Amino acid sequence: MYKIGEALIGDGPELAHIDLLIGDKNGPVGQAFANGLSTLSVGHTPLTSVIRPNLMTKPATLIIPKVTVGDLEDASKIFGPAQTAVARAVADAVEDGYIPKEDVEDMVINVSVFIDPSAKDFRKIYQYNYGATKLAIRRAMEGYPSIEKVLAEKDRGTHPIMGFRVQRLWAPPYLQVALDLDNLDVMERILADLPNKERVLIEAGTPLVKKFGVGVVGKIRELRPDAFIIADLKTLDVGRVEVKMAADETADAVAISGLGTLESIKKAIHETQKQGIYSILDMMNVKDFEEKLSAIPDDLKPDIVLLHRNVDLETWIKEHGGNTEGMTEWGNIEKIKEITGSLVAVAGGITPDNVEEAIDKGADIIIAGRYIIGSRDVRRSAQDFLAHFGPDPDNMRLAMDEDENIAEDENNSEEKK
């Protein structure tokens, strides 16, 4: 038997990150303990954790430095505050009932400790490592996090050291702003004016990509580091190459033309899966798209199906006195979701006046182009749409909204008693 725990506590160079294994002396953790204690490694030599010299904690605990110990100053941080912090946290975990007293002689703990070489404050090193070790033990013994917690947080959490967010489309609806432009200065002005919200997705439109190349995605990323960026390539052939090019420029999604052959579509979607980005299948001018979508294997269904009205056709009909009502395929949204399980985006003639109708019919992504990018007040025009969307999914969350459920913890504590 062995259990795994992890915790990060603190801030600045003194922050503590703990990884640990708890298990039987006669099992794999015990073997790792013995190997670690008897193996010398330059700069990473493990040491037993003691409350004070000549008083080893129980269960016996091995500290493994994650960062190279380069000199005596680095060593003093490990042998002093970190060593004592870990030892006391282990003893307190026994006293608090997380580790049964009757098991302490049969168990060992291996603790990996991170100490930044630039850390100076010994008090903080002690405090943070004590808290992180005790929390990691508690989490290990309780099996935290549950798989439900992992799945709920996987698309929401951010790593503090990364410095940027990776957005996933987990809580529609979203507003996709199509930058169908041929001017970089205008693009930069629009991006500066667009609301910086999670619900706003940015599309590098086909004209933009054709004039400036797929590298324009990288330019957008420089201006909006945390944005969800779509490369509207309308890929028809050699999708693997084009998708990889867009992924290399940090695109979050690539639009593939539904007019391509089934083989081309499958290859392009396979490449998006390989690159870890979203696939968008644009069904513009595809006559029997339900049949085509059904022909795509389940494991290669697109992440997003785009129901796209042809702008040139719409203009021609209007010029000849025709009625463009019903040109969207909004009535087919639920059928498409039934076939593919995908999100559905709608584009073509959508304004704030009819956006709620599209959402009510099941649209997950509303694509707006001319209404926003052709406006003198880009921010106001975008807000006209966003007023129908509600707040960003995470705007009410606390910065550290990742804690264990208190009620569950209280129940676990009662069981221990």
Phi-psi region of 238 (alpha: psi -120 to 50; beta: other; left: phi over 0): left
Per-residue model confidence (pLDDT) at position 166: 82
Find, among 28, 31, 29, the residue nearest to 20 by Cα.
29
Question: Active-site positions?
Answer: 17
Per-residue model confidence (pLDDT) at position 76: 87
Rounded CA gap, 279 and 300, in Å? 10
With a CB cutoff of 8 Å and minimum separation 6, the contacts of 270 are 240, 300
> 174 near 364, Cβ under 8 Å?
yes
Per-residue model confidence (pLDDT) at position 303: 97
Per-residue model confidence (pLDDT) at position 110: 97
Per-residue model confidence (pLDDT) at position 398: 46
Find, among 7, 267, 307, the residue nearest to 137 by Cα.
7
Find, among 5, 2, 104, the residue nearest to 57 by Cα.
104
Residues of the chain with CATH 3.20.20.70: 174-386
Phi, psi for 235 (deg, rounded to 5): -60, 130
With 0-12 / 13-18 / 19 or more C-beta atoms within 10 angstroms meaning exposed / middle / buried, residue 166 is middle
**Chunked mean pLDDT (size 10), the chain, 417 residues:** 92 93 96 90 82 95 88 83 96 96 97 93 96 96 92 76 80 96 96 95 96 96 95 91 95 96 95 96 88 95 87 63 58 88 92 92 94 95 94 61 54 43
Residues of the chain with CATH 3.30.230.60: 2-149
Rounded CA gap, 282 and 258, in Å? 5
Find, among 206, 279, 213, 203, the residue nearest to 240 by Cα.
279
Full DSSP string of 292-355: HHHHS-GGG--SEEEEE--HHHHHHHHHTT---TT-S-GGGHHHHHHHH--EEEEESS--TTTH
Architecture of domain 2-149: 2-Layer Sandwich (3.30)
Rounded CA gap, 70 and 80, in Å? 16
Phi, psi for 162 (deg, rounded to 5): -60, -45
* Domain 174-386 falls under CATH 3.20.20.70: yes
Per-residue model confidence (pLDDT) at position 348: 82
